[in-house]
Structure 1
């Protein structure tokens, strides 16, 4: 039997290292928005999220005379021990958009808001209020604008956003960014449109993604980052780690005996 020399083992080990290094991700697979000839013309106004059924909206009405807005801003009773006192400050009232796309406001009754942007809804409610209040001001905020980021990110989870103007990059930033094992060329966005789930893919290594209609997120969007092949192979490897370690130990023992 021909014995394997130590020099041969060293060469084999070096070859394995070279193969491993060459299989690592390249700059092309890791760097965001690489330079190309794309003209960036992202306009947020084209992709403003619309109000949807089951959205929860905070709506506050104000005017020069606070007394005239009282009927439109329900005041809550605050209980402190055995005392119940009415606060002078109206707690921010919330309204849930029903399945028909309506909210029911004090005095105004049912108002259709689904399909409107936040600013459109403000103007519509202001118009309705004008018959009761001179120069009313309306403030509307989403109370449940949440997005989820899953997959190969540092901190996957669901996040409540303080504003509806949020990009996919901001969402990934809140999740701690992609890990080195995340596929940047094929990030998936899951969005519900008219009650149906839709899936869209984005390549974060291309500048053209900045012009994507899905660059700005909508409420309840889910961003999923899939693992690369290396991570998938590692997960398969993990399931058989004990067997592989045993085989490797046996091979090392045999080689040691043969090379003495």
Structure 2
């Protein structure tokens, strides 16, 4: 099972949209996908209309020293071959409750190890806050996807994110490949053009050689609880994520 973690220490950059779109693109190719929502805001869970207060929850799994059958955490979505482990608001208290407890950075990794063979891919949607949940997402994956909005402040957040990954590097058994994805790009805006140029200059080795454009179809897909590629019509956004998915699979 390949595990892709979608993460950035800045909010509003398209993390959940990226997780949903990658899952939809993989589903379209016949792959089974498990989504893991690590953000206490539970945007990914809400997107798929999955009850965030179901029990047992991932929160319970963290506190119970993982002595819970992992399959009890998994909920089906309306999409074929797409399941989710939802988040809940109580997960926001995990940093305070767990403190410096040993081994809590590997909870999600251990959870996914128990699910090997059941899904082709797992996609982890991380919170924008550095803490035990983000660390779990980073420690569990084979590949890290960093959506970065094409605007000046987002580039500052990207630098912080890369510093965090470098800090965790010595603790990672397998060093994940990092792919930066420029999102919300509007070629009509000079600010977007300038930000994209800065991304290419500063992060060329890790920057995906494409971008995700602004597209009203993302809003329509969100209202229907499906990925943009599942709308059944061609669009700039669906084409971008289809290409990104294929490039990540080859990387």
TM-score range, shorter chain: under 0.3
Structure 1 length-normalised TM: 0.22
Going by fraction, where is helix more abundant, 1 or 2?
A: 2
Structure (1 or 2) with the greater strand fraction:
1
The structure that has the greater radius of gyration is: 1
Q: TM-score, normalised by structure 2?
A: 0.23
Between the two structures, name the one with larger relative contact order (CA 8 Å, sep ≥ 6): 2
